[in-house]
């Protein structure tokens, strides 16, 4: 069969790379794709934007696509799954009603509250004056201010005190730094602990977790600087013990899928839980309605199983008869970004050293913000590459990833140098 992957980031390159390995797949198309997806054997880029639902639907009908896999959240929230299903096409991902668990942080928090699923205390408002008044009435300790809508992973501001919280609220609601995503704001207690990502396949009834991963959201070493879409990740995350993993399944993932079902929002697809492991147990920071980026890169490097039957089982409601096999080796992904990211950044820089980096044993260079220009690969986004390595032991995987990173160059690149160090015990637990 032929498969269509929608999106253009590192997550989508990893999905195309993994799907193309399936014996059930003849061809993979990626819309719009990037320089890396176009180089995967058996894959081809299609110049259709990820949010152009009608054009994607026409292409899928014309090519008789057997399975569509949606990468980015925007298309899901816009209802691409509903549109494809109405046309009789098979598509992996939640409906628009189900994707609201990511599309509205306010909806997500209220859902968790209604169903007693552990999360931080919070307050929601669409009035800047009310938000500022609530902030003024809080203690002087740290607080989290979040844009409720989609903000490409950047709409969460960690504030050390009231003054920073007031500035964050003004940035989100007054200055509209994240556009309409900031029309409504969530003020949330700051949670202490280590953050971990747990993704799970679900068909709306059965929940099948993937192995754990740990993302690095802050732009700079030591978890400093502004939040980003993610500067690197590793899998598995040693901080998530088997006992904690079971608690996450029993207290968070299964109850959330049940809650969505009870409220008429049957959730089928990938459910991504961003969690804080606090002294009181795991608590939900947020849910995403799709694969994480950059967590997908190390996770799919480690996935032994064919991923296509898992997609189909979620669609067909037959997930209870499936399992996922994992390679024992850990994997590490280091994101290489453009200068200035997550703020304004230049594009069109020539990237060199990709072949040398890809030749490092155990390494795959997943492209994100890149485009092909004749013989050259150019930067075309904030997060440009996800250099991912798998090896026997986490120190070896970290070493291989950074060995490959050092082969790559373009004007103005930057990356964190401490990806994976948390798992080696060299850093203390951080807050949200």
C-alpha to C-alpha distance for 162 and 169, rounded to whole angstroms: 10
Alpha helices in 48-127 (DSSP H): 53-63, 73-78, 80-86, 96-103, 105-114
**pLDDT score recorded for residue 2:** 98
Residue located via tokens 């820089």:
349
Alpha helices in 205-307 (DSSP H): 242-248, 254-262, 296-302
C-alpha to C-alpha distance for 272 and 322, rounded to whole angstroms: 19
C-alpha to C-alpha distance for 200 and 331, rounded to whole angstroms: 18
DSSP string, 201-259: EESSS-EEEPPPBEE--EEEGGGEEEE-S-SEEEES-TTS-HHHHHHHIIIIIHHHHHH
Q: Does domain 194-321 have CATH number 3.40.50.970?
A: no
Structural domain spans, the chain: 2-93, 127-183, 194-321, 331-424
pTM for this entry: 0.94
The torsion region of residue 63 among left (phi > 0), alpha (psi -120 to 50) and beta comes to: alpha
Whether the CB-CB separation of 194 and 430 falls below 8 Å is answered with yes
**pLDDT score recorded for residue 107:** 97
Q: Tens digits of per-residue pLDDT, 62-94?
A: 999 999 999 999 999 999 999 999 999 999 999
* Domain 2-93, second-level architecture: 3-Layer(aba) Sandwich (3.40)
What is the sign of the dihedral through the CA atoms of 382, 388, 393 and 398? negative
CATH code for residues 331-424: 3.90.600.10
List the pLDDT tens digit at each of the 432 positions of the chain: 999 999 999 999 999 999 999 999 999 999 999 999 999 999 999 999 999 999 999 999 999 999 999 999 999 999 999 999 999 999 999 999 999 999 999 999 999 999 999 999 999 999 999 999 999 999 888 999 999 999 877 789 999 999 999 999 999 999 999 999 999 999 999 999 989 999 999 999 999 999 999 999 999 999 999 889 999 999 999 999 999 999 999 999 999 999 999 999 999 999 999 999 999 999 999 999 999 999 999 999 999 999 999 999 999 999 999 999 999 999 999 999 999 999 989 999 999 999 999 999 999 999 999 999 999 999 999 999 999 999 999 999 999 999 999 999 999 999 999 999 988 864 434 445
Query: Of 3.90.920, 2.30.29, 3.30.1490, 1.10.260, which CATH number belongs to 127-183?
Result: 3.30.1490
């Amino acid at each position: 069969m032929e498969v269509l992957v929608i999106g253009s980031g590192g997550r989508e390159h990893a999905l195309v790379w993994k799907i193309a390995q399936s014996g059930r797949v003849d061809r993979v198309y990626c819309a719009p794709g990037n320089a890396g997806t176009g180089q995967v054997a058996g894959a081809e880029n299609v110049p259709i934007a990820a949010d152009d639902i009608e054009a994607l639907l026409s292409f899928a009908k014309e090519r008789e696509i057997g399975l569509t896999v949606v990468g980015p959240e925007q298309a899901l929230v816009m209802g691409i799954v509903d549109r494809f299903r109405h046309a009789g096409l098979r598509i992996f991902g939640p409906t628009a009603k189900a994707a609201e668990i990511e599309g509205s942080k306010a909806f997500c928090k209220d859902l968790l509250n209604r169903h007693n699923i552990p999360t931080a205390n919070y307050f929601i408002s669409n009035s800047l004056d009310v938000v500022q008044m609530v902030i003024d009435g809080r203690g002087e300790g740290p607080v989290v201010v979040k844009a409720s809508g989609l903000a490409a992973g950047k709409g969460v501001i960690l504030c050390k005190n009231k003054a920073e919280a007031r500035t964050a609220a003004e940035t989100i609601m007054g200055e509209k730094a994240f556009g309409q995503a900031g029309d409504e704001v969530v003020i949330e207690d700051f949670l202490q602990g280590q953050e971990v990502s747990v993704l799970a396949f679900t068909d709306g009834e059965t929940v099948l977790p993937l192995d754990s991963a740990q993302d690095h959201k802050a732009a700079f070493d030591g978890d400093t600087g502004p939040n980003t879409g993610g500067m690197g990740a590793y899998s598995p995350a040693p901080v998530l013990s088997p006992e904690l993993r079971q608690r996450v399944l029993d207290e968070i993932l299964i109850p959330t899928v049940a809650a969505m079902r009870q409220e008429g929002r049957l959730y089928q697809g990938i459910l991504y839980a961003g969690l804080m492991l606090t002294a009181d147990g795991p608590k939900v920071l947020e849910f995403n309605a799709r694969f994480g980026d950059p967590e997908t890169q190390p996770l799919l490097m480690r996935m032994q199983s064919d991923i296509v039957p898992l997609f189909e089982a979620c669609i067909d409601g037959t997930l209870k008869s499936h399992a996922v096999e994992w390679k024992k080796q850990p994997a590490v992904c280091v994101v290489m970004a453009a200068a200035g990211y997550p703020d304004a950044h230049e594009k069109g820089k020539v990237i060199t050293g990709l072949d040398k980096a890809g030749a490092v044993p155990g390494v795959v260079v997943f492209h994100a913000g890149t485009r092909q220009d004749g013989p050259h690969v150019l930067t075309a986004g904030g997060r440009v590459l996800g250099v991912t390595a798998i090896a026997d032991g986490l120190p070896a995987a970290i070493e291989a990833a950074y060995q490959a990173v050092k082969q790559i160059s373009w004007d103005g690149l930057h990356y964190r140098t401490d990806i994976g160090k948390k798992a080696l015990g060299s850093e203390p637990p951080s807050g949200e």
